Every structure is written in C-alpha cells, then in structure tokens.
Structure 1
C-alpha cells in the first residue's frame, strides 16, 4: 500500500520530486518548506517558495516553521505519523527528534557523487572544480552533514561546456525518478543501504558573493569552469570600461580559446580574453540591468575591442 510521507523542500530543484512522489500515489501528509520571504528591495509583499506554490496546487497541507529545534514543532512532526520523510534541498538541518520522527526514517535526494561534495552547493562546486562526472543520490539521513548510507544513485556526465543551470535541470529530473524508485523499494521492504566510503570526502560550501568576480590571472581552464559553474546564478562577473565609465558585466557562457597576453586583455574582435595561461572567448553575457545576449549582440552596442582591458 502507498506510504504516508512528509515532503521537505524549498527551491525549484525540489519541485519535480514533489510532483513525482504525489503522482506515484503516496499519501503526503504535509509539505515543509522555508517561510515566505519579503519581495523586492522595499520588502513590499512576500514570495512563497517554489515548493510552497507547487504544494498548494496539489492541494497539500503546507508548513513553514522557522526552526525545527523546538519540542512543540517536533511533536507536530511526530503527530503526522509518517512512514518516511522525503527531503530535497529543504534548507534547515534536521535535529535527531525529526530524523527519528518518521517510522522508516528520512531520505534525502542529494545532487553529488557522495562523499564528494557534501553540503550546500554541490552542483556549482563540481563544475567549478572541473569534475567530469557527478551523480544524483538518495541517502538515508543521519545527524552528520550528508553522511548517511546511500540507497540509490545515478551517474551523470558533466560536459566540458555545461553550465550549473543545465546540470541543475538534469539532476532535478533525475531526483524525481530516483526518489520514486527508492520509495517503491522502501514500500516493498527491499531498499538496501550502503555506507559511504571514508575516502574522497569534500565539502561544497555555500557560494559567497566575494568569490564571484573573475580572476583573469588564473589558468584559462579554471576561468572557464568558474564562469560556467556560476551560470546563471549568481553569475561570474568582471568590469569593463564602456562609454567612458566602468560597468559590471555578468558572464554567462565562455569557451576555451587560443591566445596569450596580459591577463584581462581583449585579444581580438570576438571577445577573446587573455588569462594567466591561455585564453577564453566570451559567448554570452549580460550588462547591468539588461537581458542576456550573445557576444555578437553585445559588440554591436558596446565599444570593447582588441587591446582593451577587463578587470
């Protein structure tokens, strides 16, 4: 018979899994998500999370606690009498009473090849490090950060020019399929769990705004990985002097290129930029307050040519 579940998730990444679990016929007793946030610079109005909106469309009960550490909130969770909890990018740590509050445990959809890239930003960090492969995994949660035993995994190749946004979408769809498979096995009593290896542990710390600026003194391969690993959000950026004043440019796509010169120098009329070693060609970028555009479209409206510098 279908499982009685609690779903816990917040961003767009979590939505395909929520919809897939609901479509599989499981009884979702409640959906936990981050509280609505103030919208806009002046904080006028609030914005519900993507999971919040999807849950309401599905007619599901939504809960938005600020914390799960209180005894009252933990009792409310236990009172749902869930068989299991499905957790995908929820955004809050689950204390032991919550982990123990579902009969069969809490199962997390994690977007990396554990134990590599435990933590908050596994998709971006994998690309920024130049990894050629990652995975979508379902693991049974423990109190440690992404330390639990793995139930199912699906390997995913990372193409040499793939952006974090593209990998995000692939893994979001993979999470939905994999979690439904895991729940079917759990329901049948045949979900096997394998401890993670002790070797190869790395941590995917949250992306800090201070690391988004492009350092042109790095190797061209590192600059290329930095750009695609932060695309489309928060976006790698540099400054160029346009119309006699500096302007921030968000770089969304690049490609390895031939050429040498002082780091940050424009080498040709196709936006090839010299790096510490080698060069990259800018393929897609975005001016402050503008929309993404190709390099060709950018050059039709901006004077940035051979010999100019970006910083």
Structure 2
C-alpha cells in the first residue's frame, strides 16, 4: 500500500498527494483549498505566476489547521530570476501566503535562454534553505541538460522536479535521471487533464483500459491514475474546484493496482508532450511582473 508521505532527499516528509491550483480563479481558490484540507489533504501547490497565492493562504487559515500541519509549496516565476530578485520573490510569495517560511520552493521553468539567471536564482534558494526560510528547494520542467548543468554548478541537489507526467506522457528517461540523483518526480497534470483542454485526439479520462481497471475496483479513471503515480513512488498534484472531485482525488489510499495493471498503464505512453516545450518559455514570450505582497 502506497504511503501518504514521501521522504525527500534532505529528510523532509512531504505529503505525496497535493492540491494543485493552476488556473484556479481567485474567487474559487480559497474555498477549494479549505475544502481540500477538510477532506484530508495536507499539501497545497501554487505558484507566483498563478496569481492566487493570497487566496491559497486564506484557504489555509480558514481551514483552522495549524501552520505546521500544511505543507505549502510555491514557485518562483522567470521574471524574478537572479540572486537578489529571487530573494525578494520569496518575500512576495511568503507575504501573500501569510507565512514566515515555505515548505518547498521551486523554480518554475529552466529558462535556458538565460540560464545564468536560473543558476543565480537557484543559489538564492540555497541561501533561503541555509537560513531556514524554506525547508526544501527544487525545480520544475527541467530537462536532463538543465539538471546536469544545475548539478555541476550549484551545491544542493533539488529535492523535486515537477514535470508533466500522466499515462500518455511518462518522460521515462528523465525519471531515470531523477532516480540516479535522488530527485523526486512530482507530476503536474497527473490525471492527464491537459489532454482534455489542449484538444488532443484522445483524453486519458476516456481511455477504455483505464476505465476497465477502474471498474474492477469501483473507482474512477482519475483515481486509477493517481494510484498509479503513488505506487510508482511519485508525488502527484491533481487540481479541481469541485468538492466532489476534490474528495474523489484524495480517495486513493484503499486499493492496490497489480503489477500487470501498472505495466498496462505504462504501456499507454505516447511520448507526446501536451504542455509547452520548456525551451519555449522565454522572458520575451512569458515575462511578466509579479506583484508585490
């Protein structure tokens, strides 16, 4: 049976399943976070670029839980890369969230067109880690060449790399590299939601094989996919604002997929990325000012 928590490479315990709030409207974020924490989630993943950190913080406060009961993860946007700018970006995010420390702070994109700024941003994360302002640091959407250079030129191995992973896109070679260095694979779009709104030829939710497995356990295709992530040792960040879906996505700790079922899900991989190519995220195309707290 997959555990509820995962131990990161620096010894920090992180809840394996978190609520994601990408593209969650600000007027729905607070209630979604509060509902998720009521259901049992203890991990919320947001980002400066999502524009809803303040509402995430309010949802946590509204839950009535103590600060140390909720694992708070956010991301620095590329516009705030650079040593001093990233230190200030921490202050902006912490201020909006209403917290004095973050459990996990990660760089949102590799920014290969200005990778020296990326390295300086990561060095700022190392400083925040050293002085106790964050408990763990990591990256997101880094490809092997980005990780290789980061590992060569900085001191702290990232605890996580948050990347697109779902049954139709597994990034197996990147996951193998993570395993070699003790980096946790954290899946965004873990149930393939991006295959629905990006207009792909097929949606993971409708996959006959996933629906067949789901029927054997009285579960949904989404629950099967989340279970697959957990049993393979990944962290997963599903998103929803609907209370029934929030609860459904957390109800995945009471069944085990067989080895054959896991293999069948792995075989669905198409190798086709649905999200943007990391190299396409540049300051010219995606740079934007992140507001002050």
Q: TM-score, normalised by structure 1?
A: 0.31
Q: Which has the higher helix share?
A: 2
When you count strand as a share of all residues, which structure comes out higher?
Answer: 1
The two structures have a TM-score, normalised by structure 2, of 0.32
Structure with the larger RCO, 1 or 2 (CA within 8 Å, 6+ apart): 2
